[in-house]
Structure 1
Amino acid sequence: MRKTLAATALALAAVLLTGCGDGTGKHSGGKGDGDTGKGTEQAAKPDAGAGAADAGGRAKREVALEVLGTGSAQVAYNLDSSKFEQVTLPWKKTATIELTAAEQKVGYLVSVVPGSIQGSDGLLQAAPCVITVDGKKVADNQEGKLAKPCQFRVK
């Protein structure tokens, strides 16, 4: 249990430190940790046809964060803003993010750190999380088996 709590606290701290946002969908600073751990973040860009750039060079992406399970859990996330809240599971947060030309090259980090839920064996484990971009699943924590948050660089 201590390991799970420590991992969750560490992941939450990383998300809160890297996920600075001003609520407008624009990234306002900070750097991601560059972690490309298997199953948590992918560098692939969604289909070019999805969320095409407008005349000003901005691209729009529909991003959804989900935490699965039953009961309630604490969830920290960085989407159009960074928040930490107690939620009822299953939980979903969707936002349309406008990416600048620079963000389309380097990516805009979105993430969700799910709280702990009771597993089928009675032990606490991370709740399952999923990130979808323009309707395509781009990251998950393998149904809570990974002690990492779900994160993805949207391009």
Structure 2
Amino acid sequence: MRKIISGTALVLTAALLTGCGSDDGPPKADKSANASMKPKPGSGNSEVKHEVTLEVLGHGTSQVYYNLNTNKMEKVQLPWKKTSTVTLTTDAEKRIGTTVSVVPGSVYNADGTMRAAACVITVDGKKVADNEGGKSNKMCEYNLK
């Protein structure tokens, strides 16, 4: 039980730290960094949109931590699904990507022990990440480009 709690705490901390940040963009004082983020003439300034679906499977209620446009934590009824359109607008987002993730809470096994709930990430209808039906203690995450 301690391993599950410690592992879950570690995964949740990593997920929350990964998603922490500001939507204010790069620091205003660094002109050279801002210059490299501007679109090049003729490179096009089109947006790239992806439909992203996060799922946590199982029965009962559980805490779910996710990063999909924003970081959120919710107590949910399982199975749970969240779909959103993620729009990549800058050249940096298109080139480097942005991380979408879900950290499932724990659910009970038939024998009364606890394990991580199963999670799945689907992008534009294609499964891109899962935690092997809850067999892996890793969260589900994907770098969206």
Relative to its length, the structure with more strand (as a share) is 2
Q: Return the TM-score normalized by structure 1.
A: 0.76
CA distance in 1, matches of 2:104, 2:7: 11
* 1:92 is aligned to 2:68: no
CA distance in 1, matches of 2:25, 2:6: 28
Counterpart secondary structure, 1:56 = coil
Q: Return the TM-score normalized by structure 2.
A: 0.81
Residues 138 and 152, structure 1, Cα contact 8 Å, conserved in 2 = yes
Partner AA of 2:12 in structure 1: L
* Equivalent in the alignment of 1:149: 139
CA distance in 2, matches of 1:82, 1:149: 14
CA distance in 2, matches of 1:139, 1:76: 16
Higher relative contact order (CA 8 A, sep 6+): 1
Q: 5+ residue gaps in structure 2?
A: 27-43
What stretches of structure 1 move > 6 A for 4+ residues in a row? none
Relative to its length, the structure with more helix (as a share) is 2
Partner AA of 2:87 in structure 1: E
Residues 21 and 28, structure 1, Cα contact 8 Å, conserved in 2 = no
Q: 5+ residue gaps in structure 1?
A: 30-54
Partner AA of 2:113 in structure 1: L
Residues 27 and 108, structure 1, Cα contact 8 Å, conserved in 2 = no
CA distance in 2, matches of 1:142, 1:75: 17
* Equivalent in the alignment of 1:138: 128
Change (3 A) 1:57 1:149: same
